[in-house]
Structure 1
Amino acid sequence: MTTAPERLLRRLEWRLGRRLDGRLQGAYRTVWHGAGIDFTDLRVYLPEDDVRHIDWNVTARVDEPYVRLYTEDREMTCWLVIDRSASMRFGREAGKESVAAELAISLGRLVSQGGNRVGAILFDNDAQQVIPPRTGRDQILRIARDLLRPAAKSRSSNTTDLSGMFRLAAATTVRRRSLIFVMSDFIGDPGWERELARLTHRHEVVVIRIVDPAELDLPDLGLVLVEDAETGEQLLVDTSDPLLRGRLATQVDAREDAVAAAMRTAGVGAYRITTDQDLLAALVTMVQQSGRGRR
């Protein structure tokens, strides 16, 4: 009898094969490449180059920007960093947590097809789990099994320590340059952009922000009891009140602007995926955009 993780993985594999066949690049079927640590050469900087690879000593001597070239690994290590905090359980059907799980499993299977190693970091303030990177389908099945296991109910009333999540990711991946997928709603303590920037300085980081449409535009449901998923605070509100809706819209705009500014400070561009999207279509878009960025 097949288990729930096995059934989910089979379904995602079938859909991945149909939707992504012929769209992937590279000898090991992924548009996200590993970057080795072996220096091979220098050349003049081009506009599409990563500024982190500029050799400032050479640039200062010749008065023209030069970048360092590295031997690219044929295999890479990929990490799935997944926010498992209480706010991720909000949303339609199984919520943002379910979306993050399916995305993580799909990305893990996609990357692992070329023999690459995949590991995972499941993060909440009260419970962090590190799954060491390994190759093969069984590794993705193990990650799926842990993602489908209900997250422990938080014992604290604190909001998510996103800085702590990025510090854990940096400490876990310190030995080898890696490809890191971060999946979170980015609801938590502010000030995380510095730790994210440090992570992107060493690794290739792909940020996926998961939101529910109700977080962006409050539906008119009349009088309802709402609860802060992070702190547990409850409040009775009239969602049809135009003044309340106007204040909430202003707060949403301010929050979105703050997150966008933090992402810019960290030097990353985030993909935003909503819980009502076709996840495989969103993944295809990510693949296409990443491929265009590398040409």
Structure 2
Amino acid sequence: MPPTVHPNPQNAALPLLPRSAPTLRIRDPQNRTQQTQQIRLSPTTLGFVLPLFIVFIFGPLILVYTIKHSRRERVRLIALEASREASAKTKVPEIGREEARIRLAGATEVVKGEEGKEVYRYEFKGTEVEGEKDGVVETESVMGDDCAICLCSLHAPAPPAPAKVASETSVGLETNESSSVKERSTRVPEVVGKSLSEQEVILRLRVCGHEFHAECLVSWCALGKVNCPICRAVYFEKEGKGQKSDGESSGSETDVETGGVSDTSRRTETA
């Protein structure tokens, strides 16, 4: 038989509550104020938590950016240092034009013409013999050679001899056409610019035989370049290299001599 339930007068006085009683308790304003008082933080706690939160959020980002920036700066400094070292190794010290002329004096010779005279570079102007068009005549090299430094002709053709003027007796018999032709033919090309003594001399390198204008070759040598612009043959040995080669040769000779002495001493000991 089922147990008998005795009615409790206290339970009978209480109203029946539904299953959602906890929700009703939360909605109670008194419970709400108690919960807000429990969640509320002090200013000291907030002052400690907020900076810590900021550090944890932005700290890794700042650290990554700093590492990347330092790596880029390091790579840039290494590349700059390498370029400086390379430029320092490849840079050739420049010298004065007087010293360049002194160097070229022993490594070059002045080009001589057919009659043993020095050859110069000329620039002249004039008109063609036929007189069809006037203007500057371009200079062309007789030997077909050009200066490899300035890319101009080395040996310009000599100006032609002036045409002979007809005698006074034959002037009256000539027609107007023949007189105009002779006037055009008597125009002789003239040297422009410098005089004959101031014209640029042609120099020939003794080591390879290539020819250049004197001023062009002096400018080339003043840049510290000691090789031919065409064939790269060295026409001037620097003192440091010469001394180094002499030292190496003398060292090899002394090694050979010491080796010979040691061999002779060994032979005497064995005997």
- Determine which structure has more spread, i.e. the larger CA radius of gyration: 2
Q: Same fold (TM over 0.5)?
A: no
Q: TM-score, normalised by structure 2?
A: 0.16
Bigger helix share: 2
Bigger strand share: 1
